[in-house]
Copies of this chain bind each other. A is one copy, B any other.
Amino acid sequence: MSTPIDFYFDFSSPYGYLASRKIDELAAKHGRSVNWRPVLLGVIFKTTGGAPLTQIPLKGDYSKRDFARSARFHGVTEFSMPSPFPIASQAPARIILWAKAEDPNRVPRIAHAFYQAYFVDNRDISNPDTAANVAAEAGIERAAARSAVDDPAIKDALKREVEAAVAAGVFGSPFVIVDGEPFWGIDRFDQVDRWLATGGF
C-alpha cells in the first residue's frame, strides 16, 4: 500500500453515504488504503456560507430526487432518506476519532455501521446513546464508545480535525484528496479513478 487516500465525509451527508459504499473498492483497485476522516459540515459551512442542500430553494427538491436516483445509478440498493435530516454528527465522528487512535483497522467497519444505521435503518445517530449502541453492534466496547462522545480530549481532536480539513480546502462531503489533488463529490469518483490509474491527467 502506498500513500492512503484521504476520504472526508459527514455522517449526515447522503452523498457521503453513497461514497462510503464505493471508496473501499475504488482504493483497493489501485492498491491504496483509505484514511476515513469524519468532518462536520455545519462547522465548515460557517467558513463557506454553505447550507444543507435540502434547505435551498429549488435545489432542495432536486437533491432529494437526486439522492435516491444516484443511489440507484451507483448500485447502492439500500438507501432511504432518514428523518430527522440533517443531523448533528458529533457523536459518531468522535467515536470514529477515538477508535482510530486505538486501532485504525476498526474504523471502516464502524463507519459503515453508522452510515447503515442512519441511511438504511433510520436510526438517529446524533444521539450519543444510539451512536454507542451502533458502535457496540459493530464490535466495539459500548461503554468506551459512549465515553468517547463526552471526552474533552476527543472533542478537541474533532475540532482540530475539522480545522485541518478546512485548511486543506475541504468544503463538502464526500471530499477525496489523492496525493494533494482534491475531488469533491461522488460524481468525481470517475476522475479519482482515472487519476489513480494515471497519476494525473
In the complex, which residues of chain B have a beta carbon less than 8 angstroms from the beta carbon of A56? 48-50, 171
Of B50, B66, B182, B201, the residue contacting A72 (CB under 8 A) is B201
Query: What distance in Å separates the Cβ of A198 from its nearest Cβ neighbour in chain B?
Result: 11
Of B48, B59, B194, the residue contacting A171 (CB under 8 A) is B59
Of B57, B59, B169, B185, the residue contacting A187 (CB under 8 A) is B185
What are the interface flags for A51-63 relative to B under an 8 Å C-beta threshold, 1 for contact and 0 otherwise?
1000011110110
**Assembly CA distance A187 to B169 (angstroms):** 21
**Assembly CA distance A200 to B190 (angstroms):** 22
Query: What interface size band does chain A fall in?
Result: 20 to 34
Whether the Cβ atoms of A170 and B58 lie closer than 8 Å is: yes
With A171-B58, A171-B62 known as contacts, the answer to whether A187 contacts B184 (CB < 8 A) is: no
A70 at the interface (CB under 8 A from B): yes
Whether the Cβ atoms of B73 and A201 lie closer than 8 Å is: yes
A positions within 8 Å CB-CB of B? 47-51, 56-59, 61-62, 65-66, 69-70, 72-73, 166, 169-172, 182, 184-185, 187-188, 190-191, 194, 201
Given A66-B188, A185-B187, 8 new contacts (CB under 8 A): A48-B56, A48-B58, A58-B169, A58-B171, A61-B169, A66-B184, A70-B191, A72-B201
